[in-house]
């Protein structure tokens, strides 16, 4: 079984699981096209099912990322909607990247766009259990 995304005007509107031959007889008169997507592809790399282990066969990597409803498709890959105005899409992985590197001190942080816009040397704010 494979996953297929319905693309309408560059946006994913549906994702289904089907055999490839399903489309031999499937009639869809609505606008858009169906494009195969890989559940195990993230950031342009293919991973073993249900793991974070990269597959030995990277030819299985398909369209940069698994499609989700609301994702965009540009004919090359799928990518999520832009999470914050300051984030940029990595053209290799099709993942969004913050303008500042996530801290590596072991604490948990969340992005604060207002803080970044006020002072572009900050943006990651520590999450506390208050």
In the chain, DSSP assigns E strands to 2-8, 11-18, 33-37, 41-42, 45-46, 72-73, 78-79, 88-89, 96-97, 109-111, 124-126
pLDDT of residue 1: 85
**Local structure of 96: helix, strand or coil:** strand
pLDDT of residue 129: 78
Residue 23 confidence class, pLDDT cut points 50, 70, 90:
confident
Contact partners, residue 8, CB within 8 Å, separation at least 6:
30, 31, 32
**What are the domain boundaries of the chain?**
2-80
């Amino acid at each position: 079984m494979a996953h297929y995304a319905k693309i309408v005007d560059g946006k994913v509107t549906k994702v289904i699981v089907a055999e490839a031959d399903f489309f031999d007889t499937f009639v869809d008169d609505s606008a858009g096209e169906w494009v195969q997507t890989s559940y195990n592809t993230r950031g342009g790399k293919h991973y073993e099912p249900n793991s974070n282990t990269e597959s030995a066969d990277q030819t299985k990597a398909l369209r940069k990322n698994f499609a989700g409803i609301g994702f965009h498709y540009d004919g090359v890959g799928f990518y999520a909607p832009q999470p914050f105005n300051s984030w940029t899409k990595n053209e290799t992985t099709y993942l969004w990247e913050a303008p500042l590197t996530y801290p590596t001190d072991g604490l948990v942080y969340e992005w604060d766009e207002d803080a970044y816009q006020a002072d572009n040397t900050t943006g990651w704010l520590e999450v506390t259990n208050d």
